[in-house]
Amino acid sequence: MTSLASSRRAGLSVVDAVAMLVGVVIGVGIFGLPPLVAQHASSAELYLALWLVGGLVMLIGALCYGELGAAHPDQGGEYHYLSLAWGPQIGLLFAWARGTVIQTGAIAVVAFIYGDYAQRLLPLGDYGSAWHAALVVVALTLLNVLGTRESRRAQLFFTSVTVLALLLVVLAGLVLAEPQPNTASAAPASGNLAAMLGMGMVFVLLTYGGWNEAAYLSGELRNPARNMSRVLLIGTALVTAIYLLANLVFLNIFGLDGLRQSDAVAADLMNIVAGPRAEVMLAAFVCLTALSTLNATLFTGARVYYALGRDVPQLAFIGRWNERGATPVRALLLQCALTLPLILFGALTANGVQTMVAYTAPVFWLFMFLVALALIRLRRRQPWVRRPFSVPLYPLTPILFALTCLGLFYSSTLYAGSGALLGLLVLGAGLPLLILQRPQAVEQDEHAE
């Protein structure tokens, strides 16, 4: 199979690839999710340990994705790996899950984080965060429908704003703020401790989200057999160090109990150290950061619907490409239509961000479990395939990643309640689609490899 990735000229240096990986991972989550992690940790030490373990899980997962991306480069990413390993029907089910749960849920999470900060700038009443979330999703969808080139160019600017805002928070916390006593309420009951920590790890890894994009770097990296491990190790170390530093500052300023009670941690910190004007400035920075994440997520998410329409004749109506705007207009509009009810659902709950994570996480980790096992299955089924980068300590590494994913699936399903149930029900609603895909198609893909 000749793919776009394999036809490109490898031109990324280690520095280039590390910069891209760090830029993808560090996003708006660090401004919205630490309070939710704090609610699932009984002490400051345990809170920091969750972030450190999250970095290790990120590294293990990225190593597995690095091998899959190097051996089977394709625009479809997980969709392609799952189809090769488990058959096109599983690939189709993943595409359904990504389109209706994983990607739309992720869009809603970021939209609610945006809404929490936008509400600081322009209050819109009791449901102001949800109104802001819905409006920004509609606005950016329309921007992508237009196919505006400026929206893609703005991504570099938005990424720079993200890093600048995070550095501003960290420096302000280190230099200007007075430490608060780091007291915490009693630990959860022992019977619930594992589930609490598991759900805390779900929020941590959502903040680390984007490490799976390492699969798409391998096709353009110079000498991937030698450099892929360097990129993953350096990138993971940098992201983990930045996140640990940021969270040390949060703990230093708020204490664990104070951190649990914040709904916009960065803005609250700036209000403490420099007053309301700094809070407003940082809220605007975080909103710009969220716009960056949302725009990229909307852009890439719509391509899943387009791929479905391209691969499944019965869904061809969503696979039409608008040549004038160079964009899948129908796919974008469908994605928006599926996201808005999720924002409404989140608005009717106590915490929109937490509800959307609960909706998304079980389905996401279920398919990550299958991706981890896909690495082992493809090694056995296709030993002749060239692997420019091989995961170290095989098969321990993919097995450890698979067990981690399975544990996170269990924790998020058990603890997350109605949101998790809804996500799994939507996944189940996609099962009838499997009759649209022919099982023998995977054989063609295997021979094409």
Distance, in Å, from the CA atom of 449 to the CA atom of 444, rounded to the nearest integer, reads 9
pLDDT at 123 exceeding the cut of 60 = yes
**92 — pLDDT class (breaks 50, 70, 90):** confident
Q: Which residues contact 264 (CB under 8 A, 6 or more apart)?
A: 31, 32, 116, 117, 120, 283, 286
End-to-end CA distance of the chain: 5
Residue with tokens 């407003």: 280
Q: Which residues contact 234 (CB under 8 A, 6 or more apart)?
A: 14, 18
pLDDT at 129 exceeding the cut of 90 = no
Which residue has better confidence, 275 or 85?
85
Comparing 44-53, 155-164, 400-409, the range with the smallest average pLDDT is: 155-164
**418 — pLDDT class (breaks 50, 70, 90):** low
> Rounded mean pLDDT of 427-445?
64
Dihedral of CA atoms 65, 69, 72, 76 in degrees, nearest 10, equals 90
Name the 3-class secondary structure at 38: helix
The residues spanned by each domain of the chain are 14-179+192-430
**85 — pLDDT class (breaks 50, 70, 90):** very high
Q: What is the pLDDT of residue 325?
A: 54
Residue type, 276: P
pLDDT at 366 exceeding the cut of 90 = yes
Q: Which two tokens stand for residue 255?
A: 């204490």
> Rounded mean pLDDT of 50-71?
88
Angle, vertex CA 210, rays to CA 18 and CA 115, nearest 5: 125
pLDDT at 4 exceeding the cut of 50 = no
Distance, in Å, from the CA atom of 64 to the CA atom of 393, rounded to the nearest integer, reads 11
Nearest to 217 by CA among 398, 368, 388: 388
Mean pLDDT of the chain: 78
**235 — pLDDT class (breaks 50, 70, 90):** confident
CB 441 within 8 A of CB 377: no
Nearest to 17 by CA among 230, 282, 324: 230
Strand partners, 327: 322
Nearest to 326 by CA among 107, 152, 67, 88: 152
**439 — pLDDT class (breaks 50, 70, 90):** low
> Rounded mean pLDDT of 40-49?
88
CATH superfamily to which 14-179+192-430 belongs: Amino acid/polyamine transporter I (1.20.1740.10)
Which residue has better confidence, 296 or 375?
375
C-alpha of 19 from chain center: 17
> Rounded mean pLDDT of 171-189?
59
Q: Which two tokens stand for residue 179?
A: 């430490």
Distance, in Å, from the CA atom of 75 to the CA atom of 88, rounded to the nearest integer, reads 16
Which residue has better confidence, 270 or 284?
284
Q: What is the pLDDT of residue 274?
A: 65
φ, ψ at 156 (rounded to 5°): -65, -40
Q: What is the pLDDT of residue 406?
A: 92
Nearest to 294 by CA among 349, 262, 336, 323: 336
Dihedral of CA atoms 47, 53, 54, 56 in degrees, nearest 10, equals 160
> Rounded mean pLDDT of 188-203?
68
Q: How many other CB atoms are there within 10 angstroms of residue 439's CB atom?
A: 10
Classify each residue of 91-100 as buried b or exposed e, where b means 16 or more C-beta atoms within 10 Å of its C-beta.
bbbbbbbbbb
pLDDT at 158 exceeding the cut of 80 = no
pLDDT at 396 exceeding the cut of 50 = yes
**285 — pLDDT class (breaks 50, 70, 90):** confident
pLDDT at 449 exceeding the cut of 50 = no
Contacts of range 175-183, beta carbons closer than 8 Å, 24 or more positions apart: 176/273, 176/274, 177/249, 177/252, 177/253, 177/269, 177/272, 177/273, 179/252, 179/253, 180/252, 180/253, 180/254, 180/255, 180/258, 181/255, 182/44, 182/251, 182/252, 182/255, 182/256, 183/255, 183/256, 183/257
Which residue has better confidence, 288 or 407?
407
pTM for the full predicted model: 0.79
Distance, in Å, from the CA atom of 317 to the CA atom of 324, rounded to the nearest integer, reads 18
Specify the DSSP class assigned to residue 187. Answer: P
Q: What is the pLDDT of residue 7?
A: 40
Comparing 116-125, 188-197, 225-234, the range with the smallest average pLDDT is: 188-197
Q: How many other CB atoms are there within 10 angstroms of residue 223's CB atom?
A: 13
**373 — pLDDT class (breaks 50, 70, 90):** very high
pLDDT at 131 exceeding the cut of 90 = yes
Nearest to 307 by CA among 82, 29, 92: 92
Which residue has better confidence, 126 or 312?
126
Residue with tokens 């969808």: 141
pLDDT at 398 exceeding the cut of 90 = yes
Q: What is the pLDDT of residue 420?
A: 72
**8 — pLDDT class (breaks 50, 70, 90):** very low
pLDDT at 1 exceeding the cut of 50 = no
